[in-house]
């Protein structure tokens, strides 16, 4: 399992780098949206609607390619990306740690640090046989 860390860039409080993968730049009032660049592609990430909690990803042409639909009262939710569906579920009862899973197969473990932190950590599990 590779260790990946989303790190704030020096000199720009709104930009982060996931070394060897891509970048994330927060945008908008209260940083409620973001632009992500990876592998030559660019996506715009934002909440849809004023009261809705759903987050949508649009490609450069403005086509919806992914979304996150959170659970009502529980942590986690459903991630849909390029026609596939994944689960984002709590991986710890004591920490803000989540597992991104395809069925029972965990693809990544994501650790979230508290307010004011400059990093987000992720542990990526490489999928076997595919």
pLDDT band at 53 (very low <50, low <70, confident <90, very high): confident
With bands split at pLDDT 50, 70 and 90, how would you rate the model's confidence at 124?
low
Burial-class residue 69 by CB neighbours within 10 Å (0-12, 13-18, 19+): middle
Rounded mean pLDDT, 108-122: 58
Q: Which single residue is written with the structure tokens 């927060």?
A: 26
6 pLDDT tier (thresholds 50, 70, 90): confident
**For the chain, what are the domain ranges?**
2-124
Q: Is 94 exposed, middle or buried (0-12, 13-18, 19+ CB in 10 A)?
A: exposed
Position 78 pLDDT exceeds 70: yes
| pLDDT at residue 77 is higher than 90 | yes
pTM of the shown model: 0.72
């Amino acid at each position: 399992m590779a260790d990946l860390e989303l790190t704030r860039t020096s000199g720009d409080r709104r930009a982060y780098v996931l070394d060897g993968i891509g970048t994330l730049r927060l945008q908008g009032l209260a940083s409620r949206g973001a632009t992500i660049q990876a592998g030559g592609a660019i996506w715009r990430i934002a909440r849809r609607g004023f009261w809705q909690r759903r987050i949508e990803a649009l490609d450069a042409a403005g086509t919806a390619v992914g979304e996150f639909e959170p659970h009502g009262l529980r942590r986690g939710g459903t991630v849909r990306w390029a026609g596939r569906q994944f689960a984002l579920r709590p991986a710890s009862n004591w920490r803000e740690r989540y597992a991104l899973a395809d069925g029972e197969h965990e693809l990544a473990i994501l650790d979230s640090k508290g307010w004011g932190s400059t990093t987000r950590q992720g542990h990526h599990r490489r999928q076997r046989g595919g």
